[in-house]
Structure 1
Amino acid sequence: MPTALVGLSHSPLIGKNDPAADVVAAVDEAVANARSFIREFAPDLVVLYAPDHYNGFFYREMPPFCLATEAHAVGDFGSAAGALSVDSAAATALAAGALEQGVDLTVSARMTVDHGFVQPLQVLFGGIDQVPVVPIFVNGVAAPFGPVSRVRALGTAVGRAAADLGRRVLFLGSGGLSHDPPVPVLAGAPPRVADALIEGHPPTPEQRARGEERVVQAGRAYADGSTTMIPINPVWDQLVLDTFAGGRLEDVDSWTVEWMGAEGGGSGHETRTWVAAFSSLAASGPYAMTSRFYRPIPEWIAGFAVATALPLGDG
């Protein structure tokens, strides 16, 4: 089974609070290279690992990961809304394969997703309905978090199950790297906020607009240095990328929840999506990272990275 991988950071602030033109141009070039990589590989199925930002998953039930057999995007931050082109048959097969391997994978027959899933599909494929996809939610925001070894086990199990599909599969990780955006936290939250985080009441358009504007303003304050958010950590980001580039995926088993939060910020756990994607690729054997881009971008509150990888012998 031919396989390939793309890792891509996302940010709702792209196009709303952009850095200097040369930084945007560098990102655009890296993304264009990833699109060329995908066109050359020509996948007929994308397994997309991405987080949620309290748009689809809430504390009434907060699984560590969940696979969708159907998915609908809410259209937050101006991203596309509507149905994703989920390959339900492939999704069902991957879920069954992962469960057979002992991974406690939750399955959703009607998943709600946000920009974490939508942005990579729009950026890399031109829309949310352009390629058959299996969406897999990996919790990167809502504590408590499980050990990273379980995310590696998830990715490995899905990768092994994908090998039985007879498809050209692209594993796509969306998120990270280090960033500490103003995401609400349940612990200590006022009753109104806590209720929203637990029950998941859909915001009105006005409430959503106000919330998104707060994030935009936070990005501007972050870029100006007038914020208490944890700074982007290029040293940690490069360590993470070095781990993936070196194929040392077993190293992630020692990444503690506390260490990831301290070094990578409150949403540094989105890096788990990359762990899952690289583990899926590695399930079929050794691989090589074929391209790597990284830039700390405060305006987007992101340690922003783009990477591609292929099994050894395919690069």
Structure 2
Amino acid sequence: MVVCASHSPLMHGRSDVGQVFRAGLDRVREDVRRFGPELVVFFGPDHRRAFTDTVPAITVVESAHGYGDWGTVEEAYRVPSDHARSLATALMAARFDVAVANRLPLDHGFGQTATQLFGSLSAVPILPVVINCVARPLPGLARVADLGRAVDAHVRTIGCRVLYVASGGLSHAPPSLAPTVQTLSEEQRRRLIETGLAAAAERIAPDWDERFLRLLGTGDLDQLARMDDDDIEVAGNGAHEVRTWVAAAAAGGVPVPTVAYEPVPEWITGMAVASAHG
């Protein structure tokens, strides 16, 4: 099974908007409950919290906890460290140069969607894979698609019921992800986003979002893989997080149709959830 979902830190405390997205997420959460995953492989981004000066292209996480930003929880993830180590070894053998991290603080790019789907960070075994979506040079979409396929090839040897999750995107351009911004306190991040809210809301690109979702829904990863950084940047610096969606879709090996989509200016993001049973 594959689930891809947008996140936005501005969702916290704003239950009056985004009802289409929320309803879609509710439907997917029930599908996940019925599926009953034995292992969740979670592809997500980092927003220059865990990684600041040095940003690996791909990181397999052996142990992690919630960063606690924007109202997200700080509890420990239930990471199956033996599976994480074996995955990292398999990816290296498949010619992916991966970093391996312990005690990694994962921010809302993981914690928000994980909590929405499972209720807590420790409810199910989660194996986080961090993809660099913010610090150029970025791994290309073809590369992250190959990453997803390599992850699935290894997970199949484990022999468990696996759920692939991606969190990120779609179109958005938060000022806190500007290339000139690297290390900020949480208060500085909040002020920067809140003061630039109106300008950031104007960067939502529904046409771009819908084209991306259409290709994902038809399973046309080859066409998606031909998109370069400039093709993505037109939808905002935060749109680079769709790398996580491409990795999860490739891992699942099936088209991933849209469950719900709506632009939410209050969250400065084109919000979508997509899901498929493999």
Quick check: 1:183 aligned with 2:150? Answer: no
Structure-1 separation of matches of 2:257 and 2:229: 29
The 8 Å contact of residues 61 and 101 in structure 2, kept in 1 or not, is answered as yes
Counterpart CA distance in 2 for 1:147 and 1:30 is 29
Q: State the distance in 2 between where 1:62 and 1:15 align.
A: 27
| 1:209-255: CA deviation from partner (whole Å, max 9, x where unpaired) | 34324323433xx2xxxx27762111111111111111111112210
TM-score (norm 2): 0.93
Displacement of 1:17: 4.9
Q: Which residue matches 2:247?
A: 276
Q: Which digits, 9 at most, give the CA deviation of each residue in 1:4-26, with x for residues without a partner?
A: 010010000003456xx4x4332
Does residue 41 (structure 1) correspond to residue 35 (structure 2)? The answer is yes
1: CA distance, partners of 2:244 / 2:257:
19
1:247 aligned residue:
219
> For the pair shown, which has the larger CA radius of gyration, 1 or 2?
1
Supply the distance in 2 between the matched residues of 1:253 and 1:152 (Cα, whole angstroms).
7
Q: Report the equivalent of 1:50.
A: 44
Matched, 1:208 2:201: no
Counterpart CA distance in 1 for 2:90 and 2:194 is 41
Provide the secondary structure at the position in 2 that maps to 1:295: strand
RMSD: 1.8
> How many residues align structurally?
278
* Conserved? CA contact 1:142–1:185, under 8 Å: no
The reply to whether residue 139 of structure 1 matches residue 132 of structure 2 is yes
Amino acid at match of 2:5: L
Give ranges in structure 1 of 5+ residues lacking alignment: none
Please show how residues 97-246 of structure 1 align to structure 2 within 5 Å: 97-186=90-179, 189=180, 197=182, 207-219=185-197, 222=198, 227=199, 231-246=203-218
SS at match of 2:9: coil
Give the residue type in structure 2 aligned to 1:144.
Answer: P
1-side partners of 2:203 and 2:258: how far apart? 26
Q: Secondary structure at the match of 1:274?
A: helix
CA distance 1:288–1:253, shift in 2 (3 Å):
closer
